[in-house]
Amino acid sequence: MVVLAAFADVHSPVYLGLLRSALAGAGFKPCAVLFAGDLVDKGRAAAAEPVASLLREKWPGIPVVAVPGNEDYEEVMDEIKRRTPGFKWLEDEYTVVDCGGEAVAVVGTRGALDRLTRWQRRHKPHLERVYRERPQLIARLIDEARREAGRVVLLSHYALARATLRGEDPRIWPELYSSRMERVVAEKRPDAAVHGHAHKGTPRALVAGVPVYNVALPLNRRIVEVELRPRGLEAFL
């Protein structure tokens, strides 16, 4: 069985202490760590370094696959990457990791939204087109990844299932999630889907039999253990 560790939304330095305690309490060894965005608070790139340091101390040599979140501003991503050696950052692309001889492909993306936030409408209206087209790109990437690996995991910052938004104000659900991306999960059926962003949401749900994990650190207050069980078995519930 493949075991992955997953978390999101450190907003370093805001939840750095929570991450430290969550890592201390993680009593398992994953084959890879998945980070689902918002490493730093409001683009403070220097705050990425202590997160990378904590992961190296906890799981030395374990690969970290990450996607940026909305607080990991595009303008500072080069600096964040410099400050997180050993992280494999994905932006609408995929990578393959070796999990005990089993190839696991991780398709990574910032994700998409059904409705731009007020700030996005004012400052980045072009994202409406990006969010409309990105799900089709991710669907193609899942198909490509499946040709290279026996297992495929979809990793997004923005939420991937309406069910994992329960607990958030329903009026803002369109600004937390993409129904198009949920359809990609249902149609392409990766082995698991992992996201963050919804701090007050629900930790997990099933979409067409696919386990979807909301790994936001403020919600779970722990590192989430994602198990890719043998096919034909329920991942949970």
Sheet hosting strand 87-89, strand order edge to edge:
87-89, 64-66, 32-35, 2-7, 224-228
Domain ranges, residue 25: 2-228
Query: Is the Cβ–Cβ distance between 200 and 3 less than 8 Å?
Result: no
Mean pLDDT in residue range 53-69: 98
Verdict on whether the full-model pTM lies above 0.85: yes
216 within some domain: yes
236 within some domain: no
Residue 93 belongs to a domain with what CATH number? 3.60.21.10
237 within some domain: no
92 within some domain: yes
158 within some domain: yes
Query: Which burial class, exposed, middle or buried, applies to 157 when counting CB atoms under 10 A from its CB (0-12, 13-18, 19+)?
Result: buried
Cis ω on the peptide bond leading into residue 174 (within 30° of 0)?
no
Query: 17: which residues sit within 8 A by CB, 6+ positions away?
Result: none
Number of folded domains that form the chain: 1
Percent with pLDDT over 90 in the chain: 96
Q: How far apart are CA 9 and CA 25, in angstroms?
A: 18
Place of tokens 């009026």: 171
Find residue 225's DSSP bridge partners.
5
235 within some domain: no
71 within some domain: yes
pLDDT class of 236 with cuts at 50, 70, 90: very low
Q: How far apart are CA 103 and CA 199, in angstroms?
A: 31
* Cα Dmax for the chain: 48
* Tens of pLDDT, residues 73-131: 999 999 999 999 999 999 999 999 999 999 999 999 999 999 999 999 999 999 999 99
